[in-house]
Amino acid sequence: MPFRSDRWWRHAVIYQVYPRSFADGNGDGIGDLAGIRTRLPYLAELGVDALWFSPWYPSPMADAGYDIADHRDIDPVFGTLAEAEALLAEAHEAGLRSIVDVVPNHCSTAHPWFVEAVAAGPGSAARELFWFRPGRGEHGELPPNDWQSIFGGPAWTRTTNPDGTGGEWYLHLFAPEQPDFNWANPKVREEFEQILRFWLDRGVDGIRIDSAALLCKDPELPDFAAGDPDPYTDRDELHEIYRSWRAITDEYGDRALIGEIWLPDTERFARYLRRDELHQAFNFDFLGCHWDAAALRRCIDDTLAAHRPVDAPATWVLSNHDVVRHVTRYGRADTSFALDHRQHRAPTDRMLGTRRARAAALLSLALPGAAYVYQGDELGLPEVEELADEVRQDPMFHRSGGADVGRDGCRVPLPWAGRQAPYGFSPAGSDATPWLPQPADWAALTAQAQRDDPDSMLALYRRALAIRRATPELHDDRLDWLDAPPGALTFRRGAGFGCVVNLAAAPVPLPTHTAVLLTSGPLADGLLPPDTAAWLRLR
């Protein structure tokens, strides 16, 4: 099947596959490459353009695979490198491009470089690949600075000398099992350039860079109290790294370089998207925005304004493997999201959240640029918040002493078919239970149950993606706002495509149109009900 066009990432719909939870092919209760391969027809039929695979590398799984021990192989729990190569080829045959996750900020404590560094001791060349430092205090008993881990607690862990005394400390912005690389070391840069080529040589169409803004630290490692509020982002050497990576991807032709960048400053965010750096970056402002017309319009305008000077495509995403699923978020009194504002277990109205999620899907897919769909979005899956503490695996839960329940609730294995768990996640006859338990009330949310239901979330996504692919106006970067009733958003794309989203408390009239292409819910006497969106053919 031929691909749609070059520069495909500018308007692609990219589906995130979290391998551990997508589909289990060998019956051990854990998703794997064999399972993904059996579901490629489903993904092609859904109508997405590309697949982004979360890490599948060898790992002790201290952070669900983001603690990588070998960047050039596949963890046996998922399969083999040969299976990965077959998956990439089969995806291409189905008309689906593939993006792999590269995690350059850190590795696993099981990585051979770190094992050697710990054994080699202070002052060794092996330790210069990481951030080893003596501690403060009379006996080095205090961390080298006041930096805190994103997962909670200090960002430093102390080593133990061969004689049992306390040794140097090493830096980890995430879990202790994820030591940070020292990107001032040329060997680190050379290694990752080779890793990029390794996967590009195997036919991947894009590279997604995890935690893309964290790599380069101030070599003085100052305390946050020293006056620099952000001593490890937006440094000149970081932009130099991404220019070199962009040069590599450009060698391979039509390849995408995509960054995960959590920055509130749009000007700093856009710096990474200059013509010789990243092709695109995730738009977390949109993901975290209130379900409110004024807030969303402001977010959309700011996003497009930030991307326009650097001629980069905007991206629109509602959920991913790190955030509370938007069906649940949109059912809360406070519909916003931030890393420090997760609102775990806040009361939620699932019916309201689902209605808003349907409208949000049409909004995100109608905006200029690329859109991301996290696995299960198309099924309307909610966050699974009732997981027992003993089954939770996220280090955020354990590092915070349970104060933060973590991200397991958005990572529960997908329901494919059947009336009870494992809902077709594992093959028939398997006795293994899924690695995270699935709710007892998911039977109506399976792909099989929704397949032939014209009113299902799956049917909505399929129709929307088909219309998006067939509508030329949705393949450019133009958006024009139209007059709209208070609490509603109305815009035109190109000559004749229109989108209306009603976020008000009462129905609103539709603008003059010649056809209704798609609605997220039924109209009421020709009016658009609250929390509903419509795609129109305008005059």
Active-site annotation, residues: 210, 251
Q: What is the 3-state secondary structure (H, E, C) of 358-395?
A: HHHHHHHHHCCCEEEEECCHHHCCCCCCCCCHHHCCCH
Residue identified by tokens 């691909």 is 3
Rounded CA gap, 490 and 482, in Å?
5
What's the half-sphere exposure (Cβ side, CA atoms, 13 Å) at 198? 16
Three-class SS of residue 449?
helix
Q: Is 52 left (phi over 0), alpha (psi -120 to 50) or beta?
A: beta
Rounded CA gap, 407 and 320, in Å?
10
Cα–Cα distances in angstroms (integers) from residue 20 to residues 30, 76, 85, 324, in the given order? 5, 12, 18, 18
Q: Is 246 left (phi over 0), alpha (psi -120 to 50) or beta?
A: alpha
208 forms beta bridges with 101, 258
Angle subtended by helix axes 350-366 and 457-470, to nearest 10: 10
Rounded CA gap, 417 and 438, in Å?
13
Beta strands in 59-147 (DSSP E): 97-102, 132-133
Contact between residue 108 and residue 63 where contact means Cβ atoms under 8 Å apart: no
Instruction: Spell 421-432 as b/e; 16+ CB within 10 A means b.
Output: bbbbbbbeeeee
Report the DSSP pairing between strands 497-502 and 508-509.
unpaired
